[in-house]
Structure 1
Amino acid sequence: MSFKLDCLNTILINPFPYLHPPPQLPFEVLGLHTVSASSPRSAAPVTNNTTSQSFHPDHPGLNPSHGKYIVYRQTARDGANRRRPQTSIGTGYDLSNSVFSPDGRNFQVEYATKAVENGGTAVGIRCKDGIVLALEKIVTSKLLKKDANKRIATVDRNMGVVHSGLVPDGRHFVSRARDEASSWRGTYKAPIPAAALANRMGAYVQAYTLYNSVRPFGITAIVGGYDAETEVDVDGAVGSGPTMGSGGKTPGAKEGGPYLYMIEPSGLYWGYYGAATGKGRQAAKAELEKLNLDPSKGEVIGLEEGVKEAARIIYAAHEDSKDKEFELEMTWVSAVNGPTKGRHEEVPKELREEAERLAKKALEGEDDMEE
Structure 2
Amino acid sequence: MKEAMLYERLKDKEVRCQLCSHRCKIKPEKTGICGVRKNVDGTLYSLVYGRVIARHVDPIEKKPLFHFLPGSRSYSIATVGCNFRCDFCQNFEISQMPRDQGIIMGDTMSPEEIVAEAKEARAKTISYTYTEPTIYFELAYDCARLAVEEDIRNVFVSNGYMTKEALETIRPYLHAANIDLKGDDRFYRRHCGARQSPVLETLKNLKEMGIWLEVTTLLIPGENDSLDLVRELARFIKEELGPGTPWHLSRFYPRYHLTGLPPTEVEKLAAARQIALEMGLRYVYTGNVPGDPGEKTYCYACGRVIIDRFGFTITDYHLDEGRCSFCGAEIDGVWS
Which structure: larger Rg? 1
Question: TM-score, length-normalised on structure 2?
Answer: 0.27
